[in-house]
């Protein structure tokens, strides 16, 4: 922790309110000096903090003293409630892993504990003996793949190879597929196909530097496979040319990621595919991703033009390039785990314990989450949060029905969404142990990760005809510190790990929890009704025209006001981008509005304001703050407090804030989400 860093908190407090003042042409700007290294720990700090009032800077009034005590470690560019909770969850998961790893119990095959135990020690030993024990076996393993790839002499064999690699080892070299809800009919699931290029095609298109870099990368991988230098360069260049050719078929909007929502959701039937594709059949395409189950009668692709292009390139002329894609892919995935002969990445100076913990947390997140939730989540928490969700839904019902700017049809549409919203709180029932999962742990770590890819892909595919709707926790595991709204399912997820004491304390006052986790639940529900969320109906179907046009227009007016309001805030001297942060800002206002309303009396509302401001505490370097200002769809936390609280009349009543105070916003400028 350096003094310089500490000084930055003061800069962040200075989210200057330059709106809402009346009476003068030049609005008063709250001038909080950006402190320098020399004056950080000077007595001025205390004076500065002592003279902060709710009317001057509510965020600072609540948090400044605490922020001045906070430290940033060498490896941190920010810290605050959120990052502390993430660290706590990681620590709790590490404790679980270490306890299981340290036990000599016999765990049931395929159980969470068996997988965690065995994977942990496999990684630990591999790091400890620097891959020496697995070197020979893994070299043979990789050479087996290379031989298979090199044995291919026709496009028919190539297509079979794609299937064999994907189905047998999870290695994907052409298209990949995942099971999603049909965007237009969520009662059905579909296989969504995505082309897997070795380099980003959009960057390649107009950037010769990127093309050269990619070619050089390809050369290094081919050299590892024993290809002589000149030949490797020639083959890598041809591969780049093949990708160039492919970009000619791609939809430019799709390539740049600017396509309209669900323009990238193109349903193709077997007939569509047989009329479009010349070199690969509908069935071969589906099998090429390693899908071995019952054939669906349709698939979905983002860009049909790209599929036609890829198909046109499956010919004997490009066979060498496609084989090289397979070779490069083989060495590109998990480079650190490969035997020394095939690896471009060094393997020294790595700590066995922390590496093992990191890998286990990442690969077995679902398994650890189940144990984590058993330990840190309980029925009492579920009860309180369920009640809070019910209260929030009731409050939203009141707000929507009371919104005079909405038409009756608009209201009915939103209320239907609200009625059908599903809440996933804490965790789900633990999955049933399948002894076959024990197969995941191979004789070497490299084989284990291949098994992992294969098994998890197959499990994903099994969902296609399972008839079970997606569970909210499929999108966010219980040990993840977060909450979300999933428009395509109309689900709200509140994980076990976000129900941390810093946001939710089962023994605390209900109002305190409303300002904490309640403001987040209210925020997430609000995403169901923002300009993106309303394009999905109560069942998660994409219906961009379902919301009446008049309502969209009326909402647009409200959005314009919010853009103007937030654009007047400055952080570190730069104005906030009200457009970029629009959706999140409105969700913040909505969340706090609900929490306040549910809280009831003024004393409870005061608790909501203060609990809300407190959990948004954050210390960040100015470089990070500048970076976030340009890219983050969320406003900085200081603004998420100081822009939101003065929008509510109760703020003035409770704290006696008056015209002329920096935080003051004139009644007519107090925007509302509803
Ligand atoms: Zn949000």
Q: What residue ranges define each of the domains in the chain, with the CATH number in brackets?
A: 172-347 (1.10.1380.10)
Do the bridges between strand 491-495 and strand 483-486 make them parallel or antiparallel, or are there none, so unpaired?
antiparallel
Rounded Cα distance between 297 and 118, Å, is 40
How far apart are alpha carbons 425 and 377 in whole angstroms? Answer: 10
Short-list 479, 258, 279, CA closest to 374: 479
**What spacing in Å lies between the alpha carbon of 521 and ligand 1's midpoint?**
10
pLDDT 10s digits, 30-41: 333 333 333 334
Calculate mean pLDDT across residues 46-58.
88
Of 39-43, 151-155, 529-533, the least confident: 39-43
Question: How far, in Å, from the CA of 92 to the mean position of ligand 1?
Answer: 26
Residue 119 near residue 363, CB atoms below 8 Å:
yes
Q: pLDDT at position 8, please?
A: 34
The per-residue DSSP string of 289-357 comes to TT--SSPPSEEEES-HHHHHHHHHT-SGGGHHHHHHHHHHHHHHSSGGGS-GGG-SS---S--HHHHHH
E strand or H helix that includes residue 363: helix 352-363
Residue 483 Cα to ligand 1 midpoint, Å, equals 9
Question: What is the torsional sign of CA 271, 175, 230, 149?
Answer: negative
How many Å lie between the centroid of ligand 1 and the Cα of residue 516?
Answer: 15
Residue 448: phi and psi, rounded to 5, are: -60, -45
Query: 633 C-alpha vs ligand 1 centroid, how far in Å?
Result: 9
Question: Tokens representing 289?
Answer: 């991703």
584 alpha carbon – ligand 1 mean position (Å): 5
> What residues contact 14, with CB distance under 8 A and at least 6 apart?
30, 31, 32, 34, 57, 570, 571, 572
Distance (Å) from CA 532 to ligand 1 centroid: 12
Average pLDDT value for residue range 392-400 = 97
How far does the centroid of ligand 1 lie from the alpha carbon of residue 77, in Å?
22
CA-to-CA separations, 344 to 285, 339, 549, in angstroms, rounded: 32, 10, 56
Identify the three-state secondary structure at position 208. helix
Q: How many Cα neighbours within 13 Å face the side chain of 613?
A: 26
The rounded Å distance from CA 8 to ligand 1 centre is: 25
Gap from CA of 492 to ligand 1 centroid (Å): 12
Name the band, by pLDDT with cuts 50, 70 and 90, for residue 44: low
Residue 588 pLDDT greater than 80, yes or no: yes
CA of 493 to the centre of ligand 1 (A): 12
For residue 558, the CA-to-ligand 1 centroid distance in Å is 18
Ligand 1 centre to CA of 319 (Å) is 47
Average model confidence (pLDDT) for the chain?
A: 90
Q: How confident is the model at residue 539 (pLDDT cuts 50, 70, 90)?
A: very high
What local confidence, expressed as pLDDT, does residue 35 receive?
A: 30
CA of 524 to the centre of ligand 1 (A): 6
Tell me how far the alpha carbon of residue 632 lies from the centroid of ligand 1, in angstroms.
11
What would the mean pLDDT of 34-51 be, rounded to a whole number? Answer: 55
Report how far ligand 1's centroid is from the alpha carbon of 625 (Å).
19
């Amino acid at each position: 922790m350096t003094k310089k860093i500490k000084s930055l908190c003061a800069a962040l407090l200075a989210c200057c309110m330059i709106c809402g003042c009346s009476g003068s042409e030049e609005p008063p700007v709250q001038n909080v000096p950006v402190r320098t290294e020399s004056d950080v720990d000077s007595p001025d700090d205390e004076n500065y903090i002592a003279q902060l009032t709710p009317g001057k800077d509510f965020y600072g009034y609540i948090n400044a003293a605490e922020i001045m005590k906070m430290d940033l470690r060498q490896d941190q560019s920010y810290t605050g409630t959120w990052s502390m909770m993430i660290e706590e969850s990681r620590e709790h998961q590490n404790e679980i892993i270490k306890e299981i790893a340290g036990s000599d119990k016999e765990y049931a095959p395929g159980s969470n504990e068996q997988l965690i135990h065995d994977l942990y020690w496999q990684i630990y030993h591999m790091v400890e003996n620097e891959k020496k024990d697995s070197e020979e076996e893994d070299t043979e393993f990789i050479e087996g793949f290379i031989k298979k790839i090199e044995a291919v002499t026709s496009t028919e064999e190539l297509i079979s190879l794609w299937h064999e690699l994907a189905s047998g080892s999870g290695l994907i070299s052409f298209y990949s597929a995942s099971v999603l809800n049909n965007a237009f009919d969520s009662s059905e699931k579909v296989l969504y196909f995505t082309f897997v290029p070795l380099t980003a095609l959009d960057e390649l298109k107009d950037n010769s530097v990127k093309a050269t870099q990619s070619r050089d990368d390809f050369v290094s991988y081919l050299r590892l496979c024993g290809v002589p230098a000149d030949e490797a360069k020639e083959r890598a260049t041809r591969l780049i040319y093949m990708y160039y050719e492919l970009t000619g078929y791609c939809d430019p909007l799709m390539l740049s990621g600017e396509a309209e929502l669900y323009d990238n959701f193109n349903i193709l039937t077997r007939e569509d595919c047989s009329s479009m594709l010349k070199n690969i059949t509908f069935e071969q395409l589906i099998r090429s991703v390693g899908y071995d189950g019952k054939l669906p009668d349709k698939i979905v692709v983002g860009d049909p033009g790209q599929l036609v292009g890829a198909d046109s390139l499956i010919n004997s002329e490009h066979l060498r390039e496609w084989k090289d894609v397979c070779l490069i892919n083989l060495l590109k995935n998990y480079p650190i785990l490969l035997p020394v002969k095939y690896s471009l990445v060094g393997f020294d100076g790595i700590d066995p314990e922390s590496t093992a913990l990191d890998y286990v947390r990442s690969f077995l997140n679902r398994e650890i989450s189940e144990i984590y939730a058993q330990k840190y989540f309980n029925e009492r928490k579920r009860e309180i949060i369920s009640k809070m969700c019910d209260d929030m839904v009731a409050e939203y019902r009141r707000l929507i029905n009371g919104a005079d700017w909405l038409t009756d049809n608009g209201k009915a549409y939103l209320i239907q969404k609200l009625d059908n919203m599903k809440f996933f709180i804490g965790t789900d029932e633990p999955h049933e142990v399948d002894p076959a999962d024990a197969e995941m742990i191979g004789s070497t770590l490299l084989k284990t990760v291949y098994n992992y890819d294969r098994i998890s892909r197959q499990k994903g595919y099994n969902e296609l005809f399972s008839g079970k709707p997606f569970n909210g926790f499929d999108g966010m595991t219980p040990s993840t510190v977060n909450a979300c709204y999933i428009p395509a399912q109309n689900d709200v997820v509140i994980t076990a790990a976000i129900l941390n004491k810093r946001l939710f304390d089962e023994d605390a006052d209900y109002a305190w929890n409303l300002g904490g986790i309640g403001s987040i639940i209210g925020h997430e529900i609000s995403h169901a009704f923002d300009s993106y969320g309303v394009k999905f109906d109560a069942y998660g179907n994409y219906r961009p025209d379902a919301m009446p046009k008049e309502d969209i227009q009326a909402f647009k007016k409200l959005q314009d006001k919010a853009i103007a309001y937030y654009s007047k805030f400055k952080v570190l001297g730069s104005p906030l981008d009200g457009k970029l942060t629009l959706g999140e800002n409105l969700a913040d206002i909505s969340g706090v509005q609900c929490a306040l309303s549910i809280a009831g009396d003024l004393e409870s509302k005061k608790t909501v304001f203060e609990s809300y401001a407190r959990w948004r505490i954050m210390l960040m370097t100015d470089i990070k703050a500048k970076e976030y200002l340009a890219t983050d769809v969320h406003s900085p936390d200081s603004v998420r407090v100081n822009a939101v609280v003065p929008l509510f009349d109760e703020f003035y009543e409770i704290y006696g804030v008056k015209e002329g105070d920096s935080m003051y916003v004139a009644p007519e400028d107090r925007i509302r989400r509803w």
